[in-house]
Amino acid sequence: MIEGVRIKTLRVIPDERGRLVEILRRDDEIFTKFGQIYITTAYPGVIKAWHYHKIQTDNLAAVAGMAKVALYDARENSPTYKKVEEYFIGVHNPLLIQIPPMVYHGYKCISSEEAIVINCPTEPYNRTTPDECRVDPFNNDIPYNWLKKDR
């Protein structure tokens, strides 16, 4: 696993009325601190990548549809330098992915319906000086291909 990335399997509690899923609690071992909560979505086939943060840690969970989340460790001093990982998260695999600063990440909607992703970063968004460094999804030095893998 990429150094500093943590995964939490989300517990789904269904009953005859619907379901409840706890994503992140302040008493979770994985919890660091609270910055804000927001929802981001992607339509089928859409890629939202690549970016990293210098300060904040992201906590991503997909609550509708399915998303392929890819990570790339570009930190030269990391024991997992240049490692790539991918996770499939959403209704069929409820996970929380904690992504530390300086790790590139992005996601692609792989379901036939919109993927709805919740992020609970450790820092609030700073509109004046955003903690966000973006890279083109295809034209970059990251050894990852967003195309579907028909194996």
pTM of the model: 0.95
- State pLDDT tens for residues 90-145: 999 999 999 999 999 999 999 999 999 999 999 999 999 999 999 999 999 999 99
pLDDT of residue 22: 95
Q: What is the pLDDT of residue 148?
A: 86
d(Cα 17, Cα 28) in Å, to the nearest integer? Answer: 26
Burial pattern 107-131, b for ≥16 Cβ within 10 A else e, equals: bbbbbeeebbbbbbbbbeeeeeeeb
Please state, for a pLDDT cut of 70, what percent of the chain lies above it: 100
Q: Which CATH superfamily is domain 6-127 in?
A: Jelly Rolls (2.60.120.10)
What pLDDT, on the 0 to 100 scale, is given for residue 16? 98
Residue 151 pLDDT more than 80?
no
